[in-house]
Copies of this chain bind each other. A is one copy, B any other.
């Protein structure tokens, strides 16, 4: 994913989809049954969409079963709409081109959407690159008591907890554990809260 290194965006969100599809043969009529693609699509739109516009400075990285990573770049993204189904169709379009994603070279499968054959470790290596890595986690420091740079890399898991291997990857990169509140939120809701924290300068003012 050389692109991420050449043109760093801020902030970045990495979402780990443990059961996410890696082939395009899933049903758009049953996104929960497609490895909770409903949740993963909401994560993508939570990272990138405002009302009537796109967050051009944000990037979403969706790790699909540690086999592929789909990168959605706000700066060049087109055709992303707010509903789950049309977002899932973008994922399907990307996976229809999976044979072209060879090694770590990303393929642009639709404008602003890049597919590469990389798992979480490589994605973190490419994206973190000197930035603060933040693990959104129930047991972390409250967001309001944290000081996080806008360039942070937020890493979230889907409906499953991080595996011990994934936790080890995060610890190796000295990820800060930050909590978005006392109640356990869905990953897409946590992304919205993290964006709001950055948008308001840590709730200070705007």
Q: Which residues of A contact B (CB under 8 A)?
A: 28-29, 31-32, 38-39, 42, 46, 49-53, 55, 81-86, 142, 144-145, 159, 180-187, 189, 192-193, 196, 199-200, 203-206
Docked complex Cα distance between A182 and B181 (Å) = 21
Query: How near does chain B come to A48, taking the closest CB pair, in angstroms?
Result: 11
The docked-state distance in angstroms from the alpha carbon of A50 to that of B185 is 5
Complex: how many Å from CA A84 to CA B186? 14
CB atoms of A196 and B180 under 8 A apart: yes
Asked whether, in the complex, the Cβ of B186 is within 8 Å of the Cβ of A49, the reply is yes
Name the B residues within 8 Å of A55 (CB-CB). Answer: 183
CA distance A32 to B81 in the complex (A): 9
13 intermolecular pairs with C-beta atoms under 8 Å apart: A32-B81, A38-B82, A42-B42, A52-B184, A53-B184, A84-B85, A181-B196, A182-B199, A182-B200, A192-B192, A192-B193, A193-B196, A203-B203
| Alpha-carbon distance between A182 and B50 when the two chains are bound, in angstroms | 11
Q: How far is the CB of A105 from chain B (nearest CB, A)?
A: 33
